[in-house]
Amino acid sequence: MSATQSEYLRPKDLRAALEHKAATPDARFIAGGTDLLVHARRPGATLPQSLISLRAVAELNEVTVVGATLRIGAAAPLTEVARHPVIAERLPALVASIDVLGSRQIRNVATLGGNLCNASPAADTAPPLLVHDARVELQHVGGRREVPLVEFFRGPGETAIEANEVMTAVLLELPPPNAEAAFERKGRVRMDLAIAIVAGLFELDGSVVRRARVAAGAVAPLPLRLTEVEERLTGSELDDDVIAEARRLTTEAISPISDLRSSADYRRHLTGVFVERMLHGVAGSSVTGRPGA
Ligand SMILES: Cc1cc2nc3c(=O)[nH]c(=O)nc-3n(C[C@H](O)[C@H](O)[C@H](O)COP(=O)(O)OP(=O)(O)OC[C@H]3O[C@@H](n4cnc5c(N)ncnc54)[C@H](O)[C@@H]3O)c2cc1C
């Protein structure tokens, strides 16, 4: 079936979108379309009979802050997300991940919800959201639920979302003002998916790590938290030995593959280097954020 034969609906409210989905199980939600339409053009692929656009659903496009809770509408374009004043000030790792995603044209239409629902192991926004303990809000005609992002990813292209659900928002608690965020990422060339991504969030008490959160992307079947690394860092001074051990634990925790972008060995090496560099940056009290290509 070609794109012109698909029914394209553009509901203005969430209820209409959910009711159509409930009545048409084969319908697919479409936000920016930068993944869905690319997949649909692959040889042998087809477009679903019915596409439900989320772009005109106002509540899915808003970014709001209530107390310390940030709520990012799942269909808000990435450019708007990165520009939001609270996000720009308080979430530098998320902003860095958006800055390197695709091109400006892609970021103007692509959405956070689409990046997460597409469930690529190399989704750029996943590691920074994981270190912020983000949750996703899922809704269907009968109700809503929240799922921790760390439980949302199930494997390449697979998530916890049910067939009748839409992702309505990404929720997270704003970090304390003194938390240090870091984002490291490497692609082969610009506008290509990453071959390795690392994000971190650290709270220090003097030179001792009080809380460490570290996540990686593109180096396992799903974006993941590096809990062994976090546990080793918590309560420790960031000296050379601790940093070297964190690097070793990182390379043991990931399971990269070799593909056309990189060998598994290089991905493993790069991820260890990223963690080491990030921790040296934190030890030197400088906020890192080297997004690379
Ligand atoms: C040239 C190019 C470069 C790219 N570079 C990068 C890159 O560097 N890094 C990167 O991570 N990605 C990259 N991408 C992939 C893509 O742009 C992102 O993943 C983007 O965030 C997808 O968002 P979208 O709104 O376009 O999703 P869509 O294509 O609209 O949707 C993607 C999938 O999610 C589902 N979906 C979307 N929104 C919802 C929702 N709210 N609820 C339920 N299901 C939903 C759709 O049904 C579909 O299955 C690139 C794509 C292109 C074409």
Contacts with 186 (C-beta within 8 Å, 6 or more apart), sequence order: 194, 195, 196, 270, 274, 292, 293
- What integer best gives the mean pLDDT of the chain? 94
- 216 and 197 Cβ atoms separated by less than 8 Å: yes
35 within ligand 1 shell (Cβ under 6 A): yes
Residue 21 in tokens: 């989905």
* Domains, the chain, ordered by start: 3-53 (3.30.43.10), 58-173 (3.30.465.10), 181-283 (3.30.390.50)
Q: Cα dihedral angle (223, 254, 278, 266), rounded to 10 degrees?
A: -110
pLDDT given for residue 285 in this prediction: 58
Q: Which atom of ligand 1 is nearest to the CA of 165?
A: 43
Q: Which of 30, 57, 100, 168 to mutate to test the pocket of ligand 1 (most atoms within 8 A of CB)?
A: 30
0.75 surpassed by pTM: yes
Residue 106 alpha carbon, nearest atom of ligand 1? 17
Q: Please write the tens of the pLDDT for every residue from 67-79.
A: 999 999 999 999 9
Cβ(51) – ligand 1 distance below 6 Å: no
Q: Is the beta carbon of 61 within 6 A of some atom in ligand 1?
A: no
Report whether residue 114 contacts ligand 1, using a CB cutoff of 6 Å: yes
Q: State whether the beta carbon of 98 lies less than 6 angstroms from ligand 1.
A: no
What pLDDT is recorded for position 191? 83
Cβ neighbours of residue 167 under 8 Å, at least 6 residues apart?
74, 113, 116, 117, 136, 137, 138, 161
